[in-house]
Amino acid sequence: MSYFRPAIDAMTGYVPGEQPKSGIKVIKLNTNENPYPPSPKVIAALQNIDSDALRRYPDPFAHEFCQAVSEVMGVPADWVIVGNGSDDVLNILIRACAEGFERKVVYPMPTYVLYRTLSAMQPAEVVEVPYGDNFQLPIEQLVAANGAVTFIASPNSPSGHVVPLADLRQLARLVSGIVVIDEAYVDFAEGSALELVKEFDNVIVLRTLSKGYSLAGLRLGFGIAKPQLLAGLFKVKDSYNIDAIAISMGTAAMRDQSYKQDCAEKVKISRSQLTKDLRNLGFKVFESHGNFVLATPAKGNAAEIYLKLKELGILVRYFNQEGLADKLRITVGTDEQNQALIEALGNL
C-alpha cells in the first residue's frame, strides 16, 4: 500500500543542482546563476516596500509587472502570464494541457529535465525525440508525435544551441497543440522568437528573471502569448502565485534593461574566454548561447573530474544520459571564478 498515486510512486523527482553547505565558500558554477548582483534599482525597490503591500494579498495578475513587460517587449500587457519562476509557468502549462496518452508532451532531447518530471507527475505520456546531428530540430518527428504541448528550449540547456527561428515557425505552423518556446537563456543570445506569438495562436514564449536579471532567488518568470491561450492557463494558476515583493523588485529589474544588458555582455565575453581556455585544455566544447558551456573531456572521465572539482570547492554539473554521455555543464562565472576553474582543471 502506498500513500501516493501510482504516477508519483513510479516517477523520479527532479534533482536540482547541489547547494553549498552553509558557511563553506565554494565557486558555484552548477545552476546557471548570473555571477553579477541584480540591478541596484531592484534593491532600492525592496527597501521601499511599504507594510501595506505586505499586509494585503498581492495582485493575482501582477499588473504592474505586466505593464513593464509590455513596454519593454512591445506586447500588450494582457498577453503576459506571470509565474513563481518560469518553472511555475511550465507546471501550469502541463496541468492545463496534458493528460495521459491522448494529450502527450513532446520535446527534443537532450533538454531541460523538468519537462519530463512535470509530465510524469500529471501523468502525461511523453515523446522524447532525439535532436539530429549538430542539434538540428527534428521537425517531422516532433510533428508526427502530435503533442498537446511541444516544448523547445532555445537557447537549449544543457547544449547551449539556439533553434533557428525558421524551424520554430515551421513547427508552430505544423503542430495542432501548443508550442512552448522556453527562452530562459535568451538574454545571453542574439535574437529571440518572440515575434512568433504575434503570428500564431498556439505559441507561448517563456522568459525568466533568474538568469539575465540575476534574480534566481526571487522566483519570477513569465509567459507571453495571445489572451485566448492564456485564458486556460489563468484557470489553473494559483491565485497568488507571485508575492508582492517579487512584483515590486521584478518590475524594477524589468525597467532597468541597460543594467541587464551590460551584465549579459560581460557574461558573453567571459563565455568566449572560458570556451577558449577549456579547448586549450583539450575539452570539446559546444558553441553556447547561454550563460554556461557544455564540455567533454579529451582524457579522463567527466564524472571523475566533477568529483575532484567538488573536493576543491568548485561545483559544476555532471551529465550522463542518452545523447549526453559523460559531460560537464559549467556556468560562466566571473573572470576570477573561471580562471580558478581553469587552473584547477590544469592541475588535475
Angle of helix 244-255 relative to helix 257-280, nearest 10 degrees? Answer: 80
Distance (Å, whole) CA 228 – CA 230 = 6
C-beta of 80 vs 153, nearer to ligand PMP? 153
C-beta of 79 vs 112, nearer to ligand PMP? 112
C-beta of 68 vs 345, nearer to ligand PMP? 68
Q: Does 216 bind ligand PMP (CB under 6 A)?
A: yes
C-beta of 87 vs 256, nearer to ligand PMP? 87
Q: Do strands 203-208 and 178-182 pair parallel, antiparallel, or not at all (unpaired)?
A: parallel
Q: Does 112 bind ligand PMP (CB under 6 A)?
A: yes
- What is the DSSP code (8-state) at residue 99? B
Instruction: Select the span of 79-87, 120-128, 326-334, 340-348 touching ligand PMP (CB under 6 A).
Output: 79-87
Pick from 70, 157, 202, 296: which binds ligand PMP (CB under 6 A)? 157
Q: Does 30 bind ligand PMP (CB under 6 A)?
A: no
- CB proximity list for 124: less than 8 A, separation 6 or greater: 94, 98, 99, 100, 103, 104, 105, 148
* Percentage helix, strand, coil for the chain under 3-state DSSP, each rounded to 5: 40, 20, 40
Q: Does 222 bind ligand PMP (CB under 6 A)?
A: no
Number of residues located near ligand PMP, criterion CB under 6 A:
12
Contact 301, 14 (CB under 8 A): no
Q: Does 113 bind ligand PMP (CB under 6 A)?
A: no
Distance (Å, whole) CA 45 – CA 200 = 36
Q: Does 115 bind ligand PMP (CB under 6 A)?
A: no
Q: Which of 276, 274, 262, 131 is nearest to 188 (CA)?
A: 262
Pick from 11, 30, 45, 87: which binds ligand PMP (CB under 6 A)? 87
Binding site for ligand PMP (CB under 6 A): 85-87, 112, 153, 157, 182, 184, 208, 210, 216, 221
